[in-house]
């Protein structure tokens, strides 16, 4: 358990959080390699199935991150995402996937430092939580 390295899947929006991740890189801000970024055009297009599939395929945590309220490139995609994540919290919470494992954050394009800190915090927390045992034979 001491050497547990969590896998975190992050769905980040093209306009804000992905740009922030880029900025973190160009600013030489280090963050753990546990995170796998998946660029989407908007958090509003993150189907709950994507999140669920990530967990069932072995992710220990999932991050969905996009523009601050009011800043969405598509006007209101992030509000829709917020309702979907709320629903996912309510459903997945029944099966041992608590809110620490599914995060929704707003990280703007200029927040490179905040992006690096978010990943740092999540990795630290999930290391404490331990692995989510889903890499069973039953589950795909």
Partner 1 sequence: MNSIYKIEKSTHLGSVRTFLKAFLKTEKDRSLLIPVRSPHNNTVMPTLVTDPDLLDQADPFSPAFPLNSAKLVSKLTRKGSGEPMAAFLRPCELRAFVELVKIKQATWDNLIIISSDCAGAFSNSVFREKAANEKEAFTQTFLDKRLGSNLTDTMDDSIATACTICTRPFPENADITVGLFYPGGKGISLKGTSEKGAKILAAMSLEPAAPEENEKEKSALIASRKTREKEVFQEVATQTGNLPDLANYLSDCINCYNCRVACPVCFCKECVFNTDVVDYEPFQYQGWARARGGLKMPTDTLFFHITRMIHMGLSCVGCGQCSNACPNDIPLAELFKLVGEKAQKGFSYTSGTDVNEAPPLSVFMENEFKDVTGLS
**Exposure letters 16-25 (e unless 16+ CB within 10 A, then b):** bbbbbbebbe
DSSP bridge partners of 40: 13
DSSP helix/strand/coil, 38: strand
Binding flag, residue 26, partner 1 (CB under 8 A): no
For the chain, count helices (H), then strands (E).
Answer: 4, 4
Q: Build a one-symbol-per-residue string for 68-87: x at contacts with partner 1 by CB under 8 A, - elsewhere.
A: -xx-----x--xx-xxxxxx
The structure tokens listed for 82 are: 């917020």
C-beta of 132: minimal distance to partner 1 in Å?
7
**Whole-angstrom distance, CA of residue 112 vs CA of residue 16:** 10
C-beta of 87: minimal distance to partner 1 in Å?
6
Binding-site size for partner 1 (CB under 8 A) equals 43
Q: Which of residues 96-135 bind partner 1 (CB under 8 A)?
A: 96-97, 103-106, 118, 121-122, 132-135
Binding flag, residue 93, partner 1 (CB under 8 A): yes
Q: Build a one-symbol-per-residue string for 48-67: x at contacts with partner 1 by CB under 8 A, - elsewhere.
A: xx--xx-xx-----------
CB 13 within 8 A of CB 68: no
**Binding positions for partner 1, rule: CB under 8 A:** 48-49, 52-53, 55-56, 69-70, 76, 79-80, 82-97, 103-106, 118, 121-122, 132-140
């Amino acid at each position: 358990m001491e050497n547990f390295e969590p896998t975190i899947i992050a769905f980040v929006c093209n306009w804000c959080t992905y740009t922030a991740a880029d900025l973190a890189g160009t600013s030489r801000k280090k963050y753990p390699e546990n995170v796998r970024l998946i660029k989407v055009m908007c958090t509003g297009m993150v189907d709950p199935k994507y999140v669920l599939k990530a967990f069932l395929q072995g992710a220990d945590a999932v991050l969905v991150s996009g523009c601050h309220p009011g800043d969405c490139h598509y006007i209101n995609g992030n509000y829709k995402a917020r309702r979907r994540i709320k629903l996912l919290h309510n459903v997945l919470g029944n099966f041992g996937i608590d809110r620490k494992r599914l995060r929704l954050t707003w990280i703007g394009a200029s927040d490179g430092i905040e992006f690096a800190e978010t990943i740092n915090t999540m990795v630290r927390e999930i290391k404490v939580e331990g692995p989510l045992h889903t890499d069973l034979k039953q589950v795909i």
